[in-house]
Amino acid sequence: MACMEQLELDAHRGQLEKDLQTLVENYRSIFEWDIPEIDQARADRLIFEALRAALDNVELALVTKAGHD
C-alpha cells in the first residue's frame, strides 16, 4: 500500500508538471526577449541545467535545515 505522502504527491503530480512547464516557458521567453537570434536548443539546455542545479540547492537547504530541527 502506498504511503500517505506518495498518495498526496500523486494527487498533485499533474499540477507540479504544469507549474514546471510554466516556469520553463517563462525563462524561454526571457531568453527570446534578450537574444533576438537565439539558439533555442542551447538555451533550453542551459535553462534545464540551471533548474536542476537550483532544485539540488533547494533540496540541500531543506535537508540541512531538517537536520538542525
pLDDT band, residue 67 (cuts 50/70/90) = confident
- DSSP SS3 for 32: helix
Average pLDDT for residues 13-38, to the nearest whole number? 93
The pTM score is 0.78
Is the per-residue pLDDT at 50 higher than 90? yes
The residue ranking higher by pLDDT, 2 or 56, is 56
Average pLDDT for residues 9-31, to the nearest whole number? 95
Q: Check: CB of residue 62 under 8 Å from CB of residue 39.
A: no
- pLDDT value, residue 1: 62
What span, in angstroms and rounded, lies between the C-alpha atoms of 20 and 51? 10
